[in-house]
Amino acid sequence: MVAAVVIAKECVPGRVKTRLNPPLSLEQAAEVAAASLADTVDVITSLPFTRRILAYAGENAPVSADWEVLPQTSGTLDLRLGDVFDAVGEPMVLIGMDTPQVSARHLVPLLRGWPDDADSVFGPALDGGFWALGMREPDGDLIRGVPMSQDFTGRAQLARLRTAGHRVRMLPELDDVDTVDDALRIAAEAPRTRFAAALRGALGEIGAVEIPVTA
């Protein structure tokens, strides 16, 4: 049994994906962010997790009734993540909203229940952070105090887990959306996603380059 948690915030212009502006407007950046979140929710909905939880900062959570909505607490990201892990209380994996290309193949170790050979799972991101973090026995204290949004965040979090004696099962490394270059790479990798469609539409509106398709 594994619970899946998607952590996200309301996609309000000027509050999400601001590094896409320019060339995108703040409104376009928010639309792209909303599409990325929708893709992530769709994938988690399609997979055999025992619970689906949106840890959400904002109003009008964009999930169906079979999802639980867990309001995020206040404070820095490490504190908020720690509180999410403490609130769930069963084997869980947390996934961000910035990897719209995520699919079942990236989460294979968790699709038949928690793996016997792991205390935690960790999905590194190309920018030095992480896109997924899971624990068999969730403990927010293993996250609190880890510096977030740094190019060494992933290494620091992984070291925290291993120092605590965790056997860590690694998930594939993924790119996540921070800049326009990131967005172009991810849209080319996953051209059929809502994210790619939203990005194509935004770029078309401003007469920018087309997305090269690699998959």
Domains of the chain: 3-174 (3.90.550.10)
In the numeric block, which tokens belong to residue 159? 């070291």
Mean pLDDT of 27-48: 98
CB neighbour list of residue 148: distance below 8 Å, 6 or more residues apart:
76, 77, 78, 81, 129
Q: How confident is the model at residue 215 (pLDDT cuts 50, 70, 90)?
A: very low
Percent of the chain with pLDDT over 70: 96
**Tens digit of each residue's pLDDT (9 = 90 or more) over 42-77:** 999 999 999 999 999 999 999 999 999 999 999 999
In the numeric block, which tokens belong to residue 106? 């990236």
Asked whether the predicted pLDDT for residue 209 surpasses 60, the reply is no
**Tens digit of each residue's pLDDT (9 = 90 or more) over 141-182:** 999 999 999 999 999 999 999 999 999 999 999 999 999 999
Higher pLDDT, 205 or 183: 183
Asked if 87 and 102 touch (Cβ cutoff 8 Å), the reply is no
**Tens digit of each residue's pLDDT (9 = 90 or more) over 87-114:** 999 999 999 999 999 999 999 999 999 9
Mean pLDDT of 128-145: 98
DSSP string, 102-171: --GGGSGGGBTBS-TT-SEEEEEBTTSSEEEEEESS--GGGTTTPPPSSTTHHHHHHHHHHHTTPPEEEP
Asked whether the predicted pLDDT for residue 188 surpasses 50, the reply is yes
The predicted model scores a pTM of 0.93
pLDDT value at position 206? 76
What is the DSSP secondary structure assignment for residue 3, as one 8-state letter? E
Asked whether the predicted pLDDT for residue 213 surpasses 60, the reply is no
